[in-house]
Amino acid sequence: MSAVVQSIDAHSAAEQELTDGFHLVIDALKLNGINTIYGVPGIPITDLGRFAQAAGIRVISFRHEQHAGNAAAIAGFLTRKPGICLTVSAPGFLNGLTALANATTNCFPMILISGSSEREIVDLQQGDYEEMDQLAVAKPLCKAAFRVLHAADIGIGVARAIRAAVSGRPGGVYLDLPAKLFSQVMTAEAGAKSLVKVIDAAPAQIPAPNSIKRALDVLKGAKRPLIILGKGAAYAQADDEIRALVEKSGIPFLPMSMAKGLLPDTHPQSAGAARSTVLKEADVVLLIGARLNWLLSHGKGKTWGEPGSKKFIQIDIEPKEMDSNVEIVAPVVGDIGSCVSALLAGMGDNWPSPPAGWTGAINAKKEENIAKMAPRLMKNTAPMDFHGALGALRTVIKERPDAILVNEGANTLDLARGVIDMYKPRKRLDVGTWGVMGIGMGYAIAAAIETGKPVLAVEGDSAFGFSGMEVETICRYNLPVCVVIFNNNGIYRGTDVNPSGGADAATTVFVKDARYDKMMEAFGGVGIHVTTPDELKRAVDQALDSGKPTLINAAIDPAAGTESGRIGNLNPQSVVKKKKK
């Protein structure tokens, strides 16, 4: 080849547009409709966040990776697209793992993307900066894990992560991007060709016709049928179909906490106020997007009455879920929308109503329990107890059904589940399957970002402590979030004493009469201190009307609360008495 030809080729190559790993990651996400990233900047992903923001992706920077991960996870629940959490290597990656594992357990689609150290050094354990084999660590804690080593594979890596996160039973996915990947260069033309747009990421899974017939035969033979709606039913966004099934069948329904609002809690078929009765007395139970885990006493024990007194029908996209605790006599495997639609079609026009004796008994129990609870919710005393405070918030949500309620704590969570009625789907977000504390601020931020709706986060003072610094994030992005802290000076109660008689506070006691509202003021938000339910109602209304970041410190009687809330049976108690010396 002549020198002249070589010179022309070199000049042509120099004129070609180039791209790199940073921009290929961003382009791959944008191609697949990802428009928000939650994360914490740092080595080696700082510029990835900068470039993503410049490219029009909204990048929400947190103070801690766990809360960014929680935000990504609940974004996935709300949108049915994988929420993206971006972290630095090693310690930052580890901080995000709790959220990743929680997302997988709760079946929320999420992708944790972390920068990592170079493979050559990690594999020889030569001591690189934040050295860790992150892929190996992540694999047991998520649905799938991938590592991308070459820029040309970024498109495939992102596509595989998206499909894994949302297909079948959704869950968390880890995507490992070593630092060296970001600076790899290729032509923009080749880079564009390497990107993959995921087609039909979560295809419908149609149930077998014989499974539908079997389920309907069992349901038709029931004398005391019950439908249980889980958060999987809320995630499915098959709201119209589920409502039609419930109303056409006439069967009482019991919503798990994050399924509240699929049908209003005030619906005549709602059995929420008679939970114990329907679980114990039902003879056929149809589970829609609910699992027989600890939240439902594993489908057995005294909660469920006599052994063998129940027949279970279960709708789930994961076949291995069937028979996980008790026999499922009619498994229906498929996506919830398709399964519920098939059940509706199979019911025909003359489906028999449940026996009047069964529905009448449930209504009588509901009325009895509601009447018993009403005076407790009307108390306007100072200091407040949990029921008086929740009675005020119950009215707030009734008047503002579009507001999103985030809820965590021990007593704060357990009592709010039963007290605060929900009226629309996916408006209640809480600790879910693991019951893990610390989700509050991450969920609240993502709910505000993804929906644009006002958010009311009702927090126990202990639960708030896990993610409280994120109120700065709420203020920085000027989000319409009102945080209410039920402050009773401690975990469960603020009245415990050190049994040794020493000067240290008891292990469950916090600073007496702490003013959490001052934290929000420190970052430019609104802080309010209240002592009665009436004051609490006025303060929350003011916050939600204004749309300003607000934190309300609600002083609760330190003696209010019980050990471990309603799951005290899970907290072992010692029977050994130590002799005094």
The rounded distance, in Å, linking the Cα atoms of 212 and 333 is 9
How far apart (Å, rounded) are the C-alpha atoms in residues 64 and 150?
29
Instruction: Give SS3 for 401.
Output: coil
Task: Please state the three-class secondary structure of 233-286 as a single string.
Answer: HHHHCCHHHHHHHHHHHCCCEEECHHHCCCCCCCCCCECHHHHHHHHHHCCEEE
Q: What is the pLDDT of residue 131?
A: 82
Q: What is the pLDDT of residue 14?
A: 53
Instruction: At 197, give phi and psi (nearest 5°).
Output: -95, 120
Looking at the fold, whether 384 and 451 belong to one and the same domain comes out as: yes
Q: Is residue 580 part of a domain?
A: no
Specify whether 417 is located in the same domain as 547.
Answer: yes
List strands edge to edge, sheet with 110-116: 58-61, 36-39, 83-87, 110-116, 172-178, 144-147
**Higher pLDDT pick, 2 / 578:** 578
Q: Tell me, what's the pLDDT at 5?
A: 41
Residues 266 and 307 in one domain: yes
Q: What is the pTM of this model?
A: 0.95
Residues 417-441: what's their mean pLDDT? 96
> How far from 63 is each of 68, 140, 441, 454, 476, CA to CA, in Å?
8, 26, 11, 22, 11
- Let me know if residue 219 belongs to a domain: yes
In this predicted structure, what is the pLDDT of residue 9? Answer: 52
| Overall domain count for the chain | 3
pLDDT of residue 512: 95
Flag whether pLDDT at 288 surpasses 90. Answer: yes
- Token pair 């428009």: residue: 35
Q: What's 558's DSSP letter?
A: T
> What is the pLDDT at residue 118?
86
Structural domain of 540:
378-565
Q: 252 with 325, same domain?
A: yes
Pairwise CA distance, residues 328 & 335, whole Å: 17
Helix, strand, coil percent values for the chain (each to nearest 5): 45, 15, 35
* pLDDT average, residue stretch 273-285: 97
With respect to residue 514, please indicate whether it lies within any of the assigned structural domains. yes
Is residue 9 assigned to a domain?
no
The answer as to whether 540 is a domain residue is yes
32 and 170 within one domain: yes
Co-location of 329 and 453 in the same domain? no
| Pick from 395, 388, 428, 434: nearest CA to 411 | 388
Residue 580 has pLDDT above 90, yes or no: no
Stated as kind and residue range, the H or E segment containing 528 is strand 526-530
Residue 251 near residue 286, CB atoms below 8 Å: yes
> Does the pLDDT value for residue 192 go beyond 90?
yes
What CA–CA distance (Å, rounded) separates 187 from 30? 19
| pLDDT score at 579 | 55
Is 216 found in the same domain as 190?
no
Domain-embedded: residue 571: no
- Let me know if residue 407 belongs to a domain: yes
* pLDDT exceeds cutoff 60 at 433: yes
Beta bridge partners of 458: 407, 484
> What average pLDDT score do residues 559-573 get?
77
Q: What digits encode the pLDDT tens for the residues 450-504? A: 999 999 999 999 999 999 999 999 999 999 999 999 999 999 999 999 999 999 9
The CATH number assigned to the domain holding 332 equals 3.40.50.1220
Place of tokens 């639960």: 463
For 124-183, write each residue's pLDDT tens digit.
888 888 889 999 999 999 999 999 999 999 999 999 999 999 999 999 999 999 999 999
Q: Clarify whether residues 223 and 182 are in a common domain.
A: no
- Report the pLDDT averaged over residues 571-578: 71
- Note whether 345 and 456 are same-domain residues: no
Structure tokens at 437: 């504390």
Average pLDDT over residues 276-290: 97
Q: Which of 416, 438, 556, 399 is nearest to 488 (CA)?
A: 556
Looking at the fold, whether 546 and 400 belong to one and the same domain comes out as yes
- Cβ atoms of 457 and 406 closer than 8 Å: yes
Domain boundary (167, 194, 221) is at 194
Cα–Cα distance for residue pair 89/129, rounded to 1 Å: 9
% the chain with pLDDT above 90? 90
The answer on pLDDT for 365 being more than 60 is: yes
Task: Kindly indicate the confidence band of residue 7, based on its pLDDT and cuts at 50, 70 and 90.
Answer: very low
- pLDDT at res. 308: 87
Q: Residue 8 above 80 pLDDT?
A: no
Give the pLDDT confidence of 382-422 residue by residue, as tens digits.
999 999 999 999 999 999 999 999 999 999 999 999 999 99
The tokens 């519920």 sit on which residue? 340
411 and 517 within one domain: yes
The reply to whether 575 falls in a domain is no
Shared-domain flag, residues 418 and 518: yes
Residue 556: predicted pLDDT? 96
pLDDT at 1: 47
Last residue of a domain, one of 307, 336, 363: 363
- Tell me the CATH number at 510: 3.40.50.970
